[in-house]
Copies of this chain bind each other. A is one copy, B any other.
Amino acid sequence: MGTKQDIEEGVEFAPKFDDNGLITAIAQDSQSGQILMVAYMNRQALDLTIQTGYATYFSRSRQKLWKKGEQSGHVQKVEQILVDCDQDCLILKVIADAGQCHVGYRSCFYRALKKNTDKKLKLIADKVYDPKKIYRKQS
């Protein structure tokens, strides 16, 4: 590991994986800037993403590598990978088709907290596909 200054000011890519061997990765539409989803990568998922040019994550619930779109077909072509100051978080700038969230929306962030409340959400997007149709195919 380098010094704090190396990590923050240097040009050596030294991604910092947490105690579970994971790093947070944000998929952001490279054109619109919309944040599509947040997931996690282990070293192997990151290497595969760099090598193939398509986003691969590590599923915490299934405890296995997960090429985004392997079931749904909704892959993410990675245009650029950004890293933050302390190198414990990545942004993937991606080109992706319409439906990126398994619930049926373009983005996983389809709800916002209502103004003047701390408990109620409102929908801010419409579904762009029917997940039942997509995921049923595979089972």
Q: Which A residues have a C-beta under 8 Å from some C-beta of B?
A: 8-13, 24, 26, 28, 32-35, 37-38, 47, 50-51, 80-85, 89, 91, 101-103, 105, 108-113, 117-124
State how many angstroms separate the Cβ of A6 from the closest Cβ of chain B: 11
Find chain B residues with CB under 8 A from A13 CB.
113, 117-121
Find chain B residues with CB under 8 A from A35 CB.
26, 28, 35, 91
CB-defined A-B contacts under 8 Å, sample of 30: A9-B103, A11-B111, A11-B121, A12-B119, A12-B120, A13-B119, A24-B24, A24-B38, A26-B38, A32-B33, A33-B33, A33-B34, A38-B89, A47-B118, A50-B113, A50-B118, A81-B113, A82-B113, A82-B124, A83-B109, A83-B111, A83-B112, A83-B113, A84-B108, A84-B109, A85-B101, A85-B103, A85-B110, A89-B108, A91-B109
A47 (CB) vs chain B CBs: closest residue: B118
Find chain B residues with CB under 8 A from A108 CB.
84-85, 89
Copies of this subunit:
2
